[in-house]
Amino acid sequence: MAGDANAQRLRKRLQEKDTKSAKRLLARRRRKETRHTANSNHSIAKSIVTEAARTGRGIAVEKLTGIRDRVRLRKPQRVTLHSWAFQQLGAFLVYKARRAGVPLVQVDPRYTSQTCAACGYRDKRNRPDQETFICRSCGVVAHADHNAARNIASRGVVSWGAVNRPHAA
């Protein structure tokens, strides 16, 4: 994270300078950051698809459209969120999964973090804080992200249909 902050400060300083050489340097840095992002997204997508193919499972992911409008974060987290290329990662996942013959489905993320993966009970109060999930119906205690991931996986299985369902990863 410290490298991101330094890069941001340098970018801000160069933008304020507004000289021809500063603009040239900004363009070079932008191309470098774009290559880095594409490489990171390729690596992430490849590891996900490889693991799914190896284990004979499908991939279920959230539809990430509108995520920047839906999510409320503090300023340092906003910078990270807004600089991530979600659409590019999704496109890489789609083409790599298709090439490997791995089923991929995008599911609606609504209420996945408020719904109990064990009993299906949904309540806002199931999330007392950012990382904890406690079901008010059956008493299951889990990490909120793990619970949401299980809900996304189960929605993925439902989306594939009853015939020849792969396991959701």
The larger pLDDT score, comparing residue 63 to residue 69, is at 63
The predicted pLDDT at position 165 comes to 53
The predicted pLDDT at position 167 comes to 60
The larger pLDDT score, comparing residue 167 to residue 117, is at 117
**Least confidently predicted of 1-5, 12-16, 143-147, 152-156:** 1-5
123-155 residue pLDDT tens? 999 999 989 999 999 999 999 999 999 999 999
- Please choose, from the candidates 137, 102, 142, 104, the residue with its C-alpha nearest in 3D space to the C-alpha of residue 122: 137
The predicted pLDDT at position 27 comes to 94
| Cβ–Cβ < 8 Å for 127, 144 | yes
The predicted pLDDT at position 51 comes to 96
Residue 92 has pLDDT above 70, yes or no: yes
Percent of the chain with pLDDT over 90: 60
Task: Say what angle helices 75-83 and 2-17 make with each other, to 10 degrees.
Answer: 80
Specify the pTM: 0.75
For 91-124, b/e burial (b = at least 16 CB within 10 A) is ebbbebbeeeebbbbbbebeebbbbbbeeeebee
